[in-house]
Homo-oligomer: A and B are copies of this chain.
Amino acid sequence: MTAPDNASLYRSIADELKAAIRAGVYAPGARLPSESELADQYDASRGTIRQAFAALVADGVISSRRGARRTVLGGPRLQSFADLVSFSRWARSVGEEPSGRVARLEHRAATLVEAEQLALAEGANVYHLTRVRMLDGRPVMIERTAYPEPVGELVVGIDPSGSITERLEELGLIFADAEHTIDAVPATAEDARLLAVRSRAPLLRERRRTTDPSGVPLEWSEDRYLGQEVAFTVRNSVNRNALSRWHSGPEVS
């Protein structure tokens, strides 16, 4: 809809196939047309059709095996990268109204973790923003984000009740890669107060580092979701793999 859609043939073919799957033309389990059929239909080469299919496989929409036609996978629809990095965009994509309330905004020296994640020198300053994020007025998440100074100086000029990520993109920043770590933690006293839950209630914690296309960190965020309200879904297969399990070792007593 609003996406820039850097049009390429294989992208538009992939989008058409995705739309057809979403519309139920190809139900879960159904077999898709062969590469040669689509090549004729779109007057494209086989390589281009394969590129389109590869995008669907990467998105976990279809599965592919040699000798048999590709089949549609079932399950929840996927969201785009932009939906994942921006809470506001995600909320709207699932039909809920996002909002935000600032709990704290600081300009201070980076902690050790922040300096490491943002690749800053020790003692460098960061802007640190704590927000409570809501869906249709109900608080579901606490967002604690550290920005390096050049980014933070832009952030302080942005209305914090809406989407900061979208404003930063309008200002020319490019959010290209993100790395997420997901675990479960008990709510601290502050968490409990901001989310209106019992202290030590289980929260889903997502720590995220987002970088621009050349790998320069743009933000480091620790988000805590109400465990019962939000979950993360991952698809992976023998061919494509973007998830990994992580073990911290027995660090705490």
Which residues of A line the B interface, CB within 8 A? 28-29, 54, 58-60, 63, 65, 68, 71, 73-81, 83-84, 90, 94, 96, 135, 138, 140, 175-186, 200-205, 213-215, 225, 227-238, 240-252
Name the one of B81, B204, B235 contacting A182, with C-beta atoms under 8 angstroms.
B204
A5 to chain B, nearest CB (A): 13
Give every chain B residue within 8 A of A251 (Cβ-Cβ). 228
Could you list 11 further interchain pairs (A-B, Cβ under 8 angstroms) beyond the known A178-B237, A183-B230?
A28-B215, A29-B215, A58-B242, A59-B241, A76-B246, A79-B244, A182-B232, A183-B204, A186-B202, A202-B203, A234-B234
A143 to chain B, nearest CB (A): 13
Is B243 a contact of A179 with CB atoms below 8 Å? no
Give every chain B residue within 8 A of A240 (Cβ-Cβ). 58, 240, 242
Name the one of B29, B179, B227 contacting A75, with C-beta atoms under 8 angstroms.
B179
A52 to chain B, nearest CB (A): 14
A19 to chain B, nearest CB (A): 17
Name the one of B138, B180, B234, B241 contacting A78, with C-beta atoms under 8 angstroms.
B241
Q: Which chain B residue lies CB-closest to A227? A: B184
Q: Which chain B residue lies CB-closest to A58? A: B240
Give every chain B residue within 8 A of A183 (Cβ-Cβ). 204, 227-228, 230-232
What are the 9 tightest A-B residue pairs by CB atom distance, in nearest-first order?
A184-B227, A202-B202, A183-B231, A184-B184, A184-B204, A242-B242, A184-B202, A231-B246, A177-B237
Give every chain B residue within 8 A of A237 (Cβ-Cβ). 81, 176-178
- Measured CA separation A215–B238 after assembly (Å): 13
Is A231 a contact of B202 with CB atoms below 8 Å? no
Give every chain B residue within 8 A of A175 (Cβ-Cβ). 238
Give every chain B residue within 8 A of A204 (Cβ-Cβ). 182-184, 204
Q: List 29 A-B contacts (CB under 8 A).
A: A29-B215, A54-B54, A58-B241, A59-B241, A60-B179, A65-B214, A71-B215, A73-B179, A73-B215, A76-B244, A76-B246, A83-B245, A84-B243, A84-B244, A177-B238, A181-B233, A183-B204, A183-B232, A184-B203, A185-B202, A200-B200, A228-B248, A228-B251, A229-B249, A230-B248, A232-B246, A233-B246, A234-B244, A240-B240
